[in-house]
Each structure stands twice: as structure tokens, then as C-alpha cells.
């Protein structure tokens, strides 16, 4: 008998002696209770205060932020940003219905939909929400939100609604559970991937010198759409 067999045998005997039913019930109850962690004071903002803190924290980690009053203003804000960066008037956009509803024909932008390609210079995606205490964006993967658009182009333009900016991480998870439980009906709320993005890609692995754009976009531009009546 090998050492591996001895170890696996000990594990099997230990599991056999345990009350597997009680262990499963304990895990199920713990997940159902969803106990919340202590929320720091900086994560208790709501409404306008949460949006203002989100912007301040996002800018603190080298993101740039623009605020518009409605979805109709989004194409102009994106076009203005690309022009200010002296970038091509071309955009890879996720096939998100919220983005497709914007009046892109009012600009000279060449908008392509779908997963990002290596030749794309800028990507546009819609965030599920934002977290004020860290200035983080939250993205859910899916057919309408291919993750490549968030990470492959050197410039990432992210859209987030002001009403979807929460004070803390716990509120964001609670909203995700609630909305997915209502739409799916099977209790399985998690998409394949949930990405939390705070500022552009960076690393300081080499002599503690900060470099941007090493593992992803070098620039992150956030467009906040203030609460309105256009959905």
C-alpha cells in the first residue's frame, strides 16, 4: 500500500464517521442566511453621496469619469472622449440592449458589436453596477456582455447607471441574488464570471515601479448616466 492509499483511506474513514446529513444542512442554512459582514462607514453612502464617492475613488485609481444626464447623451460623451485622446472614431461595443438603445447614429463613430478582437482600439460595455467604497465596477459575463471587451482593447469605456452604484460590496451581491432569483427562478444566480474592475490594469512587480496597461486596458473611462426616465 502506498502513502497515497494510506492518506485517502484515512480521509474516507473520517468522512464515513461524520454526520454527512448534518454537515450538508449546516452549509445549506449558512448559505440561506447570507450573514453580512461589518460594513465600514465609507461603505454606507447611498444616493448622490454614493455616486460622488464612487467617482472620487475611481479617479483616485487613475480612471477618468464623465457624467451625463441621459442615455441619449452617451454617444456624444464617448465620441468626445475618443477625440480628446486623439484616438480613432471606432468602437467595439457589447451587444447589450441598454447600449444598443442609445442614438449612435448621431455621431460619426464606427460601432461594431460582439466580442473584442485584437485590432480593436476601444471597447464599450455596460456595468452591472458600481461600488462606492472602492470605486469598483462590476461586470457579469454572458451573451450580451462578452468579457473580452472589458480586457482586450487598450482603452475600456464603461457605462454605469447612477442608480446601480451601491455603497458597498454586500449590497451589490444582494442585488445580484435578488434580480437573478426573480428572472431565473431556480435559485442559481451566478453567471459564469463576475469581474470587479478598479481602475486601469496595473502592476508594480518590477522594482515597485507602477506600470499601467500590463495585463489589460491602459485607460479606463467611466460614463455615469444619472438617474432619469429612459430606463
For the stretch 57-102, pLDDT in tens is: 999 999 999 999 999 999 999 999 999 999 999 999 999 999 999 9
**φ and ψ of 32, to 5 deg:** -70, -35
Residues in the chain, total: 231
* pLDDT tens-digit map of 181-223: 765 555 566 888 999 999 988 777 777 776 776 777 999 999 9
Q: 222 and 165 in contact (C-beta within 8 Å)?
A: no
Distances (CA, A) of 29 to 25, 34, 70, 190, 216: 6, 9, 43, 18, 39
What's residue 211's pLDDT?
A: 72
Q: 197 and 118 in contact (C-beta within 8 Å)?
A: no
Local structure of residue 71 (DSSP, 8 states) = G
What's residue 228's pLDDT?
A: 58
Average pLDDT, the chain: 88
> All 3 cell numbers of residue 143?
451573451
Q: 59 and 92 in contact (C-beta within 8 Å)?
A: no
- The whole-number average pLDDT for the span 145-170 is 96
What's residue 229's pLDDT?
A: 46
Cα(79)–Cα(108) distance, integer angstroms: 8
- Compute the chain's Rg from CA coordinates: 22
Distances (CA, A) of 121 to 71, 112, 134, 145, 223: 23, 12, 27, 18, 18
What's residue 21's pLDDT?
A: 76
Lowest mean pLDDT among 35-39, 53-57, 124-128, 133-137: 35-39
Supply the CATH classification number for the domain 45-225.
3.40.50.10420
Lowest mean pLDDT among 15-19, 46-50, 110-114, 137-141: 15-19
What's residue 5's pLDDT?
A: 85
Q: What percent of the chain is predicted at pLDDT more than 90?
A: 64
Name the residue ranges covered by the structural domains of the chain: 3-33, 45-225
The answer, yes or no, to whether residue 118 has pLDDT greater than 80, is: yes
Q: 226 and 67 in contact (C-beta within 8 Å)?
A: yes
Q: Quick one: how far is CA 189 from the chain centroid?
A: 15
Q: 220 and 197 in contact (C-beta within 8 Å)?
A: yes
Cα(82)–Cα(121) distance, integer angstroms: 10
Conformation bin of residue 100: beta by default, left when phi > 0, alpha when psi is -120 to 50: alpha
- The whole-number average pLDDT for the span 3-31 is 77
Looking at the whole model, is its pTM more than 0.75? yes
Specify burial of residue 93 (Cβ count, 10 A radius: 0-12, 13-18, 19+). Answer: buried
Amino acid at each position: 500500500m502506498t502513502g497515497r492509499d494510506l492518506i485517502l483511506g484515512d480521509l474516507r474513514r473520517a468522512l464515513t464517521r461524520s454526520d454527512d446529513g448534518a454537515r450538508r444542512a449546516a452549509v445549506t442554512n449558512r448559505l440561506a442566511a447570507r450573514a453580512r459582514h461589518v460594513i465600514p462607514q465609507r461603505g454606507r453612502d447611498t444616493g448622490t453621496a454614493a455616486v460622488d464617492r464612487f467617482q472620487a475613488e475611481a479617479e483616485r485609481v487613475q480612471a477618468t469619469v464623465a457624467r451625463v444626464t441621459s442615455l441619449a447623451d452617451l454617444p456624444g460623451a464617448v465620441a468626445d472622449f475618443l477625440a480628446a485622446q486623439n484616438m480613432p472614431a471606432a468602437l467595439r461595443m457589447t451587444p447589450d440592449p441598454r447600449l444598443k438603445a442609445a442614438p449612435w447614429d448621431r455621431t460619426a463613430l464606427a460601432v461594431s458589436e460582439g466580442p473584442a478582437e485584437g485590432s480593436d482600439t476601444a471597447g464599450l460595455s455596460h456595468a452591472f453596477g458600481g461600488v462606492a467604497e472602492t470605486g469598483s465596477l462590476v461586470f457579469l459575463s454572458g451573451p450580451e456582455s462578452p468579457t473580452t471587451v472589458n480586457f482586450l482593447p487598450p482603452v475600456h469605456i464603461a457605462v454605469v447607471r447612477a442608480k446601480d452604484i451601491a455603497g458597498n460590496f454586500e449590497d451589490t451581491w444582494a442585488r445580484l441574488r435578488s434580480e437573478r432569483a426573480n428572472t431565473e427562478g431556480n435559485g442559481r444566480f451566478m453567471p459564469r464570471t463576475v469581474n470587479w474592475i478598479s481602475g486601469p490594469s496595473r502592476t508594480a512587480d518590477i522594482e515597485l515601479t507602477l506600470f499601467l496597461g500590463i495585463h489589460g486596458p491602459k485607460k479606463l473611462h467611466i460614463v455615469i448616466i444619472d438617474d432619469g426616465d429612459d430606463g
